[in-house]
Structure formats: structure tokens, C-alpha cells
Chain A
Amino acid sequence: MTGLQIAFLAIAAVTLASAVLVVSSRKIMHAALWLVLALGGIAALFATLEASFFAAVQVMVYIGAIAILIIFSVMLTRRVMEDTGPQNTRYWPAALVVSLGVFGGILFLFLQWPGFSVESRPGLEQGDLLVRFGQALVSPDEFVVPFEVASILLVAAMIGAMIIARDPSRK
């Protein structure tokens, strides 16, 4: 077992444990903080895969923006400190079946992929990969259409949020 594998297992264990704690903590604020740790674990996984761009973007977008917004809205929620009532619904066996099915499906699809069992090649040219990624996003033969559609979707969502948040009595 190499050092990288040990690091992977440790990070994966931390990520999974904090993901479980997100749904099982009694205090909703703690759940939000465990979510931060889980997202940070994913960033660390990206870093061990030498995908430093994705690691940095993961921290910037998910921890720096989304988790902060979640914490913010949790802090503005009333009665965040109260922890009464059961945490499970009646339907948890059905949810278990669905999530196991999804996990199995994803695993099945990955097993079909020939690159699944190939060991990763360390020392890829990072700078070139980043340039390649940027060009692929705007090249007409590759991902320009999904990229632009995603951008328009985000702009529409942003405008929608502004319109909803607007005070209707003000002209």
C-alpha cells in the first residue's frame, strides 16, 4: 500500500463519516459544519488526484460560497437550537433501497468503463491540462453548447432570485 492509497482511504473515511453526521446531527448548525468538512474532504480527494484546479474551485465555490450561505440561512432560521422529535421518517427503508440502487447503478456503469481498473498516471502535465480544459469549454466541437446553456441557466436563476426578492409594493 502506497502513501497515496493510505491518504485516499483516510480522506475518504473522514468524508463519509462527516457526510453521515450531516444527516444525523441533532443541531442543524452542526450539520452545516459537518457538511463543510465533507466538502473539504472532496477537495482533498481532488488534490490527491493532482487536480489542483478542481480542488481550489471546490473550496472556493462549495465552502466559500454555498456552505457559507447555508450556514447563514441556518442562523436566520428560528429555533435552530431545539432538537426534539424523531429524525427518521417512516419511509427510510424505501430511501435506503433507492440510494443503494443509484449507487449500484453508478458502480455498474463504472465497471463497464475500460479505464476503471487502470492505475492513475502520476506526473501529468498540469498546466497543459488546465489550458486544454479551458479550450474544450469554448471550442465549438466540444463543450461550448453545454457550457453556454449552463451559463444562461445561472443568469436566469440569478434574475429570478432578484425578482422574487424584490419588494412588490415598490415600483
Chain B
Amino acid sequence: MTPWYQDPVQFIAEWLRGVLLGWGMPPSGVELVLTVLGAGTIALLAMLWVVFLIWYERKLIGRIQDRFGPNRVGPWGIFQPIADMLKIFTKEYITPEGVDRVPYNLAPILAVASVLLIWAVIPFTMTVMGVNLNVGIVYIIASGGLGVLGIILAGWSSNNKYALLGGFRAVAQLVSYEVPMVVSLLIPVILAGSLGVNDIVMAQRIPYLLSAPVAALIFFITSMAETGRSPFDLTEAESEIVAGFNIEYSGLKFGMFYVAEFLHAFTVSLLFATLFLGGWRGPLAEQVPLLGFVYLVVKTFVVYFVVILFRGSLPRFRIDQMMDLNWKLLTPLALVSLVVSALVAKPLEEMPLAQTLALLVSNGIVLILFIEGTGKKVQRKREIVGKPRPLAVPHPEEQQPAQSTGG
């Protein structure tokens, strides 16, 4: 048995199991208690973690935009989200006229639940994970589908045209981007030979970022789109549809959508780190499970940093550009790279190093060919319908002095 400081979670679980068995509880009852406790702990920690994430993201976005970010409550403003959280607890729930009550109240719950469900299958260390589901990847995709349902319910039940428009946009975007995401997730599955998330981590002696860079890129872009954040935040484009699907929500119900968005962004970073950067793997991670957790957090924050950089620096897509990117570039690229990876990986299965090299080279070739061959073609230029007609032109007489000084 490893010392407690190397694997605290297992240590506590073993201790609790011993105590409960000592009280004369049947073994199946003990397992049930431990499972419920574990699930509750993961869900609670994930929700509390959002408090930190909100501060981190606001601070970083502030720096990107040459501001300080939150800096009043506590050192570096670190308690700002706690103050915000307490404020949102006290706010009134306003239910507008004509909403469909049950779907209206169910939608925020579904939005958070669909993200929290993913946490059940992520291996945090070699030994600590919710369940080692042998269909983990399919499960992750399925829980994403529930999130779409939450947004559609929010958009429809609010009885508001902007909410409905936001819901339409969200569904069009999420359902479309699910296609290349699923295909790109199949590549690590093929390389690892398993659908289980922990098996995929176990198989990554060399991180799959090197074996499947194209899949990693597609997964990164599509998962950004799935979170519905900038540059893919057409679902809540303030300048066009006010606030999108969550416009009629107030108080903690809006807070649930807010939490779901931030948690989703972190969760996809976690997934990326798990599936493409080797998860908890690292030197000595198998002897000292706690180290694996540290590695996973570091890798996740590297990815999360890039996610926030994207959000802070890229403008929003137009809806046709968003669809063009998905259907004309990402989907064919994902399909081609799936076929190429399968063909290259199979004959070199015995030699991991040669396999990785061959996959890296073939992926690079596919990417270059795609961008050279189709990238230019699929960019759609807006048709010019007429000459620009400025609303106001300077009066010719007033222009005279400006010209004379200019000359």
C-alpha cells in the first residue's frame, strides 16, 4: 500500500471502507455509500472550481485588453467571483409571462449536468476516476447531446423571439460541429484500440498530439465551437440577438448557464489534455499517483490558457463563415485524416516510434495538401451588390480649406 501522501484519495476511500465495514454495514451498501460520496465530491469540487476559473479568466482577459481585471476584493481581486456569487444568490427569479414552466426550469439544470457528466469518466490520476467506463468516448459525445437539448429548451420555452433565434443558431452550430468532433475523436480510439478514456491515457507512451496532430487541431476547434464561446459565440451575439437563448433568465438560473459555459471551457481543456497530451502521464506518475494529478492540471491549464487567448483575441464569425469552416474544411479534413491514420497506423503497430513518426509525417502532408488545395477555394467572398453609398458627404465648399491646408 502506498503512503497516504502519495495517493490521498484512495487512502481516504480505503479508510472509510474499513470504518463502514467495521460498523457492520453490508459490502454492497459500503460500495453504494462510497460511490455516492465520490460522485458528490467530484460534482461539488467541479462547481466550486468554477469560482476560481471565473477570476482567472477575467484577470487574463483584462491583461489581454490592457486592463487590470478584478483588483478590489482580496489580493489580486481573487475574492471577486465569491462576492459575485453571493450577490447572484440574492437576486430575484423573474419568470416572464407565457413561458413553458417545466422546460424553462429544466434547461439550466440540463446545461450544467451535461458538462458535469463528462467529469465522471475523466481519470484524474492513475487510480482516481469516477468510473472506468469501457465506452467513455461515446459517453462523452452522448452527454454533449444533452447540452444541446438544454439550450434548445431554454430557447423555445422562454417565449421570446431573440431566445428562439439564439436557440436555432445554437442547435445549428452544435449539431454541425459534432460531426467533425466525433470523427476526430475516433483517431485516438483507433490508435489506442479502446473506447475507454483511461485506456487511451494508458496507451499514450508518446502523447497523441504527435501521432494525431490533425485530429488534435480539429478537436480543439470543434470543442471551442461546442462551448459556444468567442469566436463561436453566435448563439449569444449581443449586437444581433441581445443575449441569445438565455435572455429571459435571471438570478441563479442565469448563473447556471454562466457556470456551465465556464465549466465547459475548462472541461474541454481537460479532455484535450487527457486525450492528446497524455493525461496524468509523466515521470514517476505511476509510482506516485498524486504527481499524475499535478501533471494533468498543468497540461490542462496550458490548453485553457490558449482557449482564453482565443476568446480574448479573435472576433466573432459570421454564421456563413462558421458553417463554411465546418462543412467545407473541418469535416472533409477529419474524414481524410481518419482514413490516412488508420491506414498508416495498422501496419506499424509493433513499432511505436516508427508509427508515431509515420503518423506525424502523413498528418502533416494531409494538412498541407488540404490547406493548399481547398483552403483558398472554400473562402467565400461577399458579393459586391453596388458601389458604397456613404450616408453623409462633406459639403464641397467646406472641403476647400481642408484641401488648401493639405496642399
Complex Cα spacing A67 to B149, Å: 9
Query: Which residues 49-84 of A have a CB within 8 angstroms of B?
Result: 52-53, 56-57, 59-60, 63-65, 67-69, 71-72, 75
Of B65-73, B131-139, B312-320, the segment with at least 4 beta carbons within 8 Å of chain A is B131-139
Query: A64–B134 contact, CB under 8 A?
Result: no
Complex Cα spacing A158 to B214, Å: 26
Contact of A130 among B135, B145, B171 (CB under 8 A): B135
Interface of B is mostly: helix
Q: Which residue of B lies closest to A71 (CB)?
A: B152
Query: A75–B156 contact, CB under 8 A?
Result: yes
**In the complex, A127 has a CB within 8 A of chain B:** yes
Complex Cα spacing A68 to B143, Å: 13
**In the complex, A126 has a CB within 8 A of chain B:** yes
Q: Shortest beta-carbon distance, B332 to chain A, in Å?
A: 15
Query: B138–A29 contact, CB under 8 A?
Result: no
**In the complex, B366 has a CB within 8 A of chain A:** no
Complex Cα spacing A29 to B135, Å: 32
**In the complex, B16 has a CB within 8 A of chain A:** no
Interface residues on B, range: 20 to 34
Interface string of A26-38 (1 = CB under 8 A from B): 0001100100100
Query: B139–A64 contact, CB under 8 A?
Result: no
Chain A neighbourhood of B138, CB < 8 A: 53, 56-57, 60
Query: B148–A52 contact, CB under 8 A?
Result: no
Contact of B149 among A36, A75, A130 (CB under 8 A): A36
Q: Which residue of A lies closest to B152 (CB)?
A: A71
Chain B neighbourhood of A69, CB < 8 A: 175
B residues within 8 Å of A by Cβ? 100, 103, 133-135, 138-139, 141-146, 148-149, 152-153, 156, 164, 167-168, 171, 175, 178, 194-196
Q: Would you mind naming 23 contact pairs between A and B with Cβ atoms under 8 Å apart? A: A33-B153, A36-B149, A52-B133, A52-B135, A52-B139, A53-B135, A53-B195, A56-B139, A57-B138, A59-B142, A59-B143, A60-B142, A63-B149, A64-B144, A64-B149, A65-B175, A68-B149, A71-B156, A75-B152, A75-B168, A127-B196, A130-B134, A130-B195
Given contacts A60-B141, A68-B149, A130-B135, 8 further A-B contacts (CB under 8 A): A53-B134, A53-B195, A63-B142, A64-B146, A64-B148, A67-B149, A68-B171, A75-B164
